[in-house]
Homo-oligomer: A and B are copies of this chain.
Amino acid sequence: MKPTPVKGTRDYLPKEVQIRDYMQNIILETYKDAGFERITTPIMEDAVNLDKSDGGENLNLVFRILKRGQKLSSVLSRGDILEKELSDIGLRYDLTLPLSRYYANNRNNLMSPFKVIQMDRVYRAENPQKGRLREFTQCDIDIIGNASCDAEIELILTTAKALDKTGIKNYKVKINDRRILKSIFEYSGFKEEDYEKLSIIFDKLDKIGIEGIKEELADGNFNTGASEKFISIFESGGLSLASVKNICSEEFVQNIQKIMDTITTVTNGTVVTEFAPSLVRGQGYYTGTIFEVEAEGYSGAVAGGGRYDNLIGKFLNEDIPAVGFSIGFERIFEILMENNLEVPGQKKLIAVFYDSENYAAALSYAEELRKDYKVSVIARPKKFGKFLNKLEQQGFSGFAVYGQEDGVKLFS
């Protein structure tokens, strides 16, 4: 049997779990203080829901669960089996699709607007690289039933507050709107069927610069006039919020401006926002505002989200406005480990040693000490000194020996 965990997944040591639990709890409390309520959903979803969810690239990364019993044998007994026939359920790739289903299933029992927390694991069959886990935790807040950009403002403010508490410094919130992105492509004169490919190229602007974009556009099979017009927008001073006013509907611009202004006002400018016209976000289900948090010194996003006004409608006969913001907890955890976070304010863990004839009495003694300590009762080991070193290494703060009157001795 294989002692290592499944490829792309991780075992967490006690010390690591302590840090993870501590920080997840801080994030949870921050969200609750802002009036959000936690729900949970199963990690499995019906395959039909996943397949129709507009999850973009993530749909290629779904772990699918094999059918069972009669359902499976009837598939296997046929020739020419299609992959899709073998599976009826998959593991969720994010928390947004399950939430949309959940809202459709439970809306009569929920507040409206529904302000909701999810902190849970999701699954993607990524090619495991540094930091690309196949099982990872997301901390999401969503507001369902509010079409105004007040919802975006609240999500950004609350997420920023949670990030502040994790100790992450020098981050900024990049904001865009899927509708602005589309308007820029339209204005340049690209064909609509190219928008997705163009988005993928444009998304790389920060990495490859305007010259890189130029090359990729030339390599792709796009209309040359459109490519030139597109590039010229940048060369005439870049894409500021003011400059896109002439390209897209003024409403989209005002929307982003209001979000940025309100956040500056409420936080006295401590939360930095930035219009980021090349921000794309992968998921196909986004319909309006999209945002992402970038932290100095770390590549990739710490958090991301956006508005998805049509997704819940796929479960109901009615579109329901919705917007969400998700913290990638694994990235936060990585940063906490690099910074050697110490979990504060815990009862100290000590050992109480006993000899076997005194076990019952030692248990009662340990119980008394539990008012002040976490106490592990351990048979007195033969190599006592060596064992004490091990205790200290393992994060114990001290020990007592049952029957010796000098009580608890703390390691200095």
Which residues from chain A sit less than 8 Å from chain B, CB to CB?
Answer: 1-6, 9-14, 17-18, 20-21, 32-46, 48-49, 52-53, 63-66, 68, 72, 76, 79, 81, 83, 86-87, 89, 91, 101-102, 104-106, 109-113, 115-116, 121, 125, 135, 146, 148, 150, 153-154, 157, 262, 265-266, 314-316, 347, 349, 351, 356, 359-360, 363-364, 367, 370, 374-379, 390-391, 394
Contacts and interface: CB of A to CB of B under 8 A. Distances in A.
B68 A86 contact: no
Given A1-B49, A262-B359, A43 B40 contact: no
Given A12-B41, A111-B391, A150-B356, 5 more contacts: A2-B49, A5-B105, A33-B374, A35-B374, A65-B65
A314 B1 contact: yes
A247 to B, nearest CB: 27
Contacts of A38: 14, 17-18, 21
Contact of A1 (B13, B20, B43, B315): B315
B39 A66 contact: no
A1 B101 contact: yes
A43 B13 contact: no
A297 to B, nearest CB: 27
A53 B370 CA distance: 37
A6 B378 contact: no
Contact of A356 (B20, B116, B148): B148
B266 A33 contact: no
Contact of A12 (B4, B34, B39, B363): B39
Nearest to A12: B40
Contacts of A9: 42, 44
A5 B101 contact: yes
A199 to B, nearest CB: 25
Contacts of A106: 11, 13
A25 to B, nearest CB: 9
Nearest to A4: B105
A399 B241 CA distance: 38
A11 B148 contact: no
Contacts of A150: 356, 359, 379
A39 B316 CA distance: 40
A116 B39 CA distance: 27
A363 to B, nearest CB: 5
A20 B120 CA distance: 14
A52 B404 CA distance: 47
Given A135-B43, A135-B44, A262-B360, A37 B11 contact: no
Contacts of A390: 111-112
B379 A148 contact: yes
Contact of A87 (B17, B43, B66, B374): B66
B11 A41 contact: yes
A13 B42 contact: no
Contacts of A72: 83
Contacts of A102: 5, 11
Contacts of A266: 360, 363-364, 367
A201 to B, nearest CB: 26
B65 A76 contact: no
Nearest to A265: B360
A34 B37 CA distance: 31
B68 A65 contact: no
Contacts of A121: 43
Nearest to A49: B1
A20 to B, nearest CB: 8
Contacts of A378: 113
A347 to B, nearest CB: 7
A8 to B, nearest CB: 9
